[in-house]
Every structure is written in structure tokens, then in C-alpha cells.
Amino acid sequence: MKSETLVNNEFGIAEALKALGINDQNPGTGTGTQWVHSNGPVLESYSPVDGQRIAAVHQSTEADYEATMQRSAEAFKVWRNMPAPKRGEIVRQVGEELRKYKEPLGKLVSYEMGKSLQEGLGEVQEMIDICDFAVGLSRQLYGLTMHSERPKHRMYEQWHPLGIVGIISAFNFPVAVWSWNAAIAWVCGDVCVWKPSSKVPLCAIACQNIISKVFRDNQVPEGVSCVLIGNHVGDRMNNDSRVPMISFTGSTRIGRRVAGSVAQRFGRTILELGGNNAIIVSEHADLNMVLVGTVFGAVGTAGQRCTTTRRLIVHESVYDKTLNVLKNAYGQLSIGNPLNPANHVGPLIDKGAVQQYLDAIEHAKKEGGKMVVEGGVLEGEGYESGCYVKPCIVEAMNSYQIVQEETFAPILYVMKYKTIDEAISLQNDVPQGLSSAIFTNNMREMEQFLSQEGSDCGIANVNIGTSGAEIGGAFGGEKETGGGRESGSDSWKAYMRRQTNTINYSSTLPLAQGIKFDL
């Protein structure tokens, strides 16, 4: 990797890169304790913050891929036989190492991806938290015992690791989503191969550099944690029968292809795809809470979260007041360098995302949408990357084609409702089903929203926004969001295979269901 010496150091970026080992190594793929040098095509990483080139890496070649998979398969044979609490102890040490590097890694996340420094630091904190969660989990990989219908028989179930877990992550959470999968997969006894987004490869390299010392010190075999760089790697993993599980985060369009490829070989998937998340604002809502939940949900990470608030469904009696409050708040947003804590909104990831933002606004207008807060691209000093846009609000109908789609940008569609039944129907009437929320102080509305006839999303919140899920709860959605769960609760079961065992400790062999088979 060749690091650009002219990187903007106003906020200590050069020091952060140095601390994270982003220097003149030139890696292409890696394992837990060493980098495998590659001669693959060069991939350059540019910051959307200021448009500067950060560094270049060589993408993984076919030879790199094969070597990594072979090494991972061999490592699995050793790692799976290590007691789970011992694996948990190693993950605990990974969490401690992440604590040491929280500030420089948070800065790199902010600079390479474009989210605010506080969000970058928060993402690293999520990594630390999931390591803590996984440590406890390493002693709680429980199976059930069942009573047998046959005398002197014992039945129970146990869980075994799957093998190689492929993790394909998206640019918007360059490190956290990988850790959700990896920390849990590791304590389950799996090994991980990570294909990060080609838009943020340096964050993955930094993570690998951080954890390498832990693996070395614990004499962990090469191959327990690997990184492969390049878009072609994803397709290779999806079709590789040596990878029984693929965890994919990305668009619904690509997710369909991933699901088909993996299903064709009877593999497993966790799919975290598109979101089209709505907040219902009841006439019984506290509008001060609505303001905070909606604005952060809609403009946080410049609208580039899968849990971003994209639709606001407001009761007609408080509609005008809610819009006035939001317009005032949007007028006070500070847009600029996300490493500056005075700014609320940073850039989109690249100019392609900017064009999608502009196209979506035009589509909304053509379908009859009315601009409440105008959008646009910012130019001039501080916006040289061409990736900064204005968060906007559009009055729209839920039936508009553009409203039915997910646009990864700070565009908020607002609409009215009369009854709670109508509001829930509007909330559910999109192809996606990730996150949802209602703001209300009416208990009946709360309970209806959370009931089987309420929100059809994987996440349903009351009096908090759609964004900001905690690692303790299972994360994921329904419908075109893909299915499967990551992070907390019992999502660990997705990374293991269930086995039912029956032990006969009698001197006879009775058959189930009373079947007689006399010889």
C-alpha cells in the first residue's frame, strides 16, 4: 500500500494513518498475523471529505484467493477444537486492542467514508461492544435436552461451527458490520474471510493490522481472520462451496444475485439489504422528541444508513406544525468536513451517489412531489470533493415509484394520514421491511404498532427513531431487506449447525413410534 504524503492533516489524519499501519507495505490480501503481498490491479482510495487520494492497494488475485481459502480451511481445523471460552478470551483481547486504537480508527472511518467523527468513533465503539457481547456468548452456546419416548434413551441438541464464513460488507459501515459477524463467528468456532467495500478498503486493512498482534500473541493459526480486496472476490465467494455461509450487506439488487448464487449450492446467507424506513408521527406525539429522532434519522451519515428515516407519516392535525419545526431545523444544519464537530452533515460517498440523489429529486418532482426544503449540490471552498449535498424534504405520496425505492441520500418524503390503521398501512406499503418507528404517548397506538397487525419490519421502535440499533438486539429485516439476523440475541445460531443426538444406554434397541422389527 502506498500512502499519499499530502493527506490533509488538519484533523490529525496523517497521524491516524501512521498509528494504524497504513504505510508503504503494499498488501493485497491478509490473514491474522501477516499480509500476503499481491501483484493484482491497483485500487485507489479517495476521501469524499476533500477529494484527496489517501492510499492505493493491490487487489487480490485468483492465486491470493486460493491461498487464502486453503489457509482458512486448515486454520478452521485447529480453531474449532479450541474451547469456546478460550476463543472468547481471544476476542476479549481483540476488544481491548480496539479500545487502544479507537481514536485513530474512528478518524479513518470518518475520513475514508465521510461520516461525522462522532459517528466514526461510535462505529468503533460498536466493535468494542460486540466483542464484549461475544465474550459472554462464548460460555452460552446452549443446546436443549429433550425427553425421549423410548426408555433409557437421552436426547439433546448441540451446535457445531460451520467453517469459513464469508463477510461482504458495505461502505456505509466500513468496520462495524464486519465485527458484528466476525466476533460472533469466531466464538462459535468459525473462521472469517472479509471482502470489504472497494470504496473503503483502508478501514479493513487497519482492522486487520490492529487484531494481528492479538492473534500472534495467542498463537492463532493463520487463516482465522482474512481480508480479500476487490469486487470480483464477492462473486468468487458466493459461488464457492468451501464457504458455507455468506453474510452480505448491500443493495437489494446485488442481494438478489448473492441469494441466488449461494442458494444454488445450498449455502446459507444473512442478507442485510435495502431499507425504506418510516416514522409515524401521531397526534399524541411529543414533537420535541419527533424533531430529534427525525432529523438525526434523516440526515445522519448524510442519509447513507440502511436504517435512515426516508418517510415521515404525520397525522393531519399536527402536519403543518411538524413541517414548520422540521424546516426550521433543516435551516440550521451545518454541512461540511465531518471531522469538524461543528458540522452536522458530511459528504456522500462519491459523485455517483450525488447523481443518484439528484435523479431521485427530479423523479419525485415529475411524479408530483413538492419541495418543502430544497436540495442541491454544494460548491466552493470546503466542498471541493463535489460530494456535499443539501438534505431536503419532499411532500409526496407513498405510491410514488421513487418513494417505493431506497435512495442512499438525505431525502425525506413526508405525507399525511387520518387514522392509525391508515398510518400503519402506509408504513408497510413498501417492498422493504427493515426499521420503523412511531412517536406517540397513546398506549393503544403503541401496542397496535407493535402487534401482529402493526409494523411488518424486523425493527419496530416507539418514541425513538429508525436509526441507531444497539448490538444486544438481533439486527435485520423482512421482505426485500433480505432476512437473517446479525449481532445480538440468538443470532449466533446462524453461524453454527444444529445437531440432534440420541443416546441409548439400555441393553435393547426399541424403535421410535412403537415400530416392531423382529428378526
Helix axes 252-264, 231-238, angle to 10 degrees: 40
Q: How far apart are the first and last CA of the chain?
A: 72
DSSP string across 416-451: EESSHHHHHHHHH-SSEESEEEEE-S-HHHHHHHHS
pLDDT at res. 5: 38
Is residue 29 pLDDT above 80, yes or no? no
**pLDDT band at 11; cut points 50, 70, 90:** confident
pLDDT at res. 146: 96
List pLDDT tens digits, range 89-123: 999 999 999 999 999 999 999 999 999 999 999 99
Task: List, in sequence order, every residue forming a beta bridge with 474; answer none if it has no partner.
Answer: 487
Residue 409 is placed in which grid cell? 441520500
State mean pLDDT over 277-287: 98
CA dihedral 88, 79, 180, 124 (to 10 degrees): 70
Share above pLDDT 70 across residues of the chain, in percent, rounded to a whole number: 96
pLDDT at res. 3: 35
Asked if 138 contacts 82 with a C-beta cutoff of 8 angstroms, the reply is no
pLDDT at res. 375: 98
Asked if 196 contacts 278 with a C-beta cutoff of 8 angstroms, the reply is no
Question: Would you give the DSSP letter of residue 513?
Answer: G
List pLDDT tens digits, range 472-505: 999 999 999 999 999 999 999 999 999 999 999 9
Residue 303 is placed in which grid cell? 442519509
**Kind of pairing, strands 411-417 and 474-475?**
unpaired
DSSP string across 397-422: -TTSHHHHS--SSSEEEEEEESSHHH
- For the chain, how many residues are written? 519
Asked if 279 contacts 435 with a C-beta cutoff of 8 angstroms, the reply is no
pLDDT at res. 10: 76
Residue 288 is placed in which grid cell? 420535541
Share above pLDDT 90 across residues of the chain, in percent, rounded to a whole number: 92
Question: Would you give the DSSP letter of residue 37?
Answer: E
**pLDDT band at 31; cut points 50, 70, 90:** very low
Any idea which of 214-218, 248-252, 512-516 has the lowest mean pLDDT?
Answer: 512-516
pLDDT at res. 514: 87
Distance CA 57, CA 205 (A): 10
pLDDT at res. 7: 57
Distance CA 243, CA 22 (A): 29
Distance CA 464, CA 85 (A): 36
List pLDDT tens digits, range 450-479: 999 999 999 999 999 999 889 999 999 999
Distance CA 239, CA 222 (A): 23
Beta strands of 110-239 (E only): which ranges? 145-147, 153-161, 164-168, 191-195, 225-228
User: Could you identify the residue written with the cell 435393547?
Assistant: 508
pLDDT at res. 468: 85
CA-based Rg of the chain, rounded to a whole angstrom?
A: 25
Any idea which of 111-120, 190-199, 290-299, 509-518 has the lowest mean pLDDT?
Answer: 509-518
List pLDDT tens digits, range 51-75: 999 999 999 999 999 999 999 999 9
List pLDDT tens digits, range 398-436: 999 999 999 999 999 999 999 999 999 999 999 999 999
State mean pLDDT over 219-244: 97
Task: List, in sequence order, every residue forming a beta bridge with 480; answer none if it has no partner.
Answer: none
Is residue 86 pLDDT above 80, yes or no? yes
**pLDDT band at 6; cut points 50, 70, 90:** very low
Q: Strand, coil or helix: what is 138?
A: coil
Residue 474 is placed in which grid cell? 438481533
Asked if 38 contacts 29 with a C-beta cutoff of 8 angstroms, the reply is yes
**pLDDT band at 281; cut points 50, 70, 90:** very high
**pLDDT band at 8; cut points 50, 70, 90:** low
State mean pLDDT over 151-163: 97
pLDDT at res. 28: 45
- Region at 403 (left for phi over 0; alpha for psi -120 to 50; beta for the rest): alpha
| Average of per-residue pLDDT values in the chain | 95
Is residue 252 pLDDT above 80, yes or no? yes
Asked if 479 contacts 427 with a C-beta cutoff of 8 angstroms, the reply is no
List pLDDT tens digits, range 347-373: 999 999 999 999 999 999 999 999 999
Give catalytic residue positions. 272, 306
User: Could you identify the residue written with the cell 464486519?
Assistant: 178
State mean pLDDT over 338-343: 96
Task: List, in sequence order, every residue forming a beta bridge with 27; answer none if it has no partner.
Answer: 37
